[in-house]
Amino acid sequence: MYFDERIPLYLNLACRQVTRDRGDLKFLTGSSGTTVTCGGRENQETQVLKFGGSTIWIANNDDTDTLMMKAFLDKLGIDSLEALSSHVEDYAARLYPSRKARGETVAKANISDGTAVKVKLLAELQAEEMTSGKTVADIEIPDPKDLTTVTAVSNKTYKLSSSNAPPADGIVFVTGNYEGDKITGGDQHAEQKLLAALSKAPSTMTGAVRIIGCKSACSTCEAVLLGVRDRLKGKMIVSFQNQNVDNLRTDLSLGKKNTSTIRDLALDTYFPA
């Protein structure tokens, strides 16, 4: 269960690192020269929707970040949930920038932009899978990844303006805008983009759907997630998981973000009662 949270955390932090390195994948390869197209600017929030054992939809508040993540996974030749999971398991530790960030404590003064919280959480989730008695400081940084023999792939995308159903298998990058209920302007959040795509899901998508993020849902997204969960009862079991992120924010005396400026998905349009 914990492992799933590592995927959005890893993608978010990798996107941030590659953006800082202007598209170079040197955090992974250990040397400059392998690059991807990169125009990301926010690196705010990455959320994924998982269905069955092989489907993962990926969205961010900022679509530019989403397209950068696609370029990144395409370049690495990763085109299945299984391959993505293995990659995160093998290489997440290359995102730990310093021993301090891998350590047991991160001072509140160092977390003003939220980055260190996510680095710390990724490290803690990794440590939980290790033999008991070890700590996050014991995690070894793996050797650089050799990309010389990797064949690039082209993962799927889904735009919310499409009238087609989104793909129900593999890695799918979701971009675009959803319609708001009370708010027509404002920012659009990743969780709600995934829900808007879910409203057009093919009939084969029934059963359990999980939305998992690298950041606690804001009050607007939480209300929408609960609303969709209720309206889909009997057809799908929609759950959302930010428990570890929530716990860590509480530990660090950071509360849930409450904002009234985030666009709120028009429930009656997307999920008529």
In angstroms, what is the minimal distance from the CB of 84 to Zn ion?
24
Pick between residue 127 and residue 245 the one whose CB is nearest to Zn ion: 245
- Answer whether 264's CB lies under 8 Å from 189's CB: no
Q: Which residues bind Zn ion (CB under 5 A)?
A: 189, 218, 221
Q: What is the dihedral of CA 236, 242, 243, 248, to 10 degrees?
A: 180
Place of tokens 């793996």: 142
DSSP 102-152: HSS---GGG-TTSHHHHHHHHHHHHHHTSPTT--GGGPPPPPPPP-TTPPP
Q: What's the rounded Cα separation, in Å, for the pair 25 and 35?
A: 6
In angstroms, what is the minimal distance from the CB of 243 to Zn ion?
16
In angstroms, what is the minimal distance from the CB of 49 to Zn ion?
15
Position of minimal CB gap to Zn ion: 221
Pick between residue 37 and residue 260 the one whose CB is nearest to Zn ion: 260
Pick between residue 174 and residue 221 the one whose CB is nearest to Zn ion: 221
In angstroms, what is the minimal distance from the CB of 159 to Zn ion?
20
Pick between residue 44 and residue 155 the one whose CB is nearest to Zn ion: 44
As a whole number of Å, the end-to-end CA separation of the chain is: 31
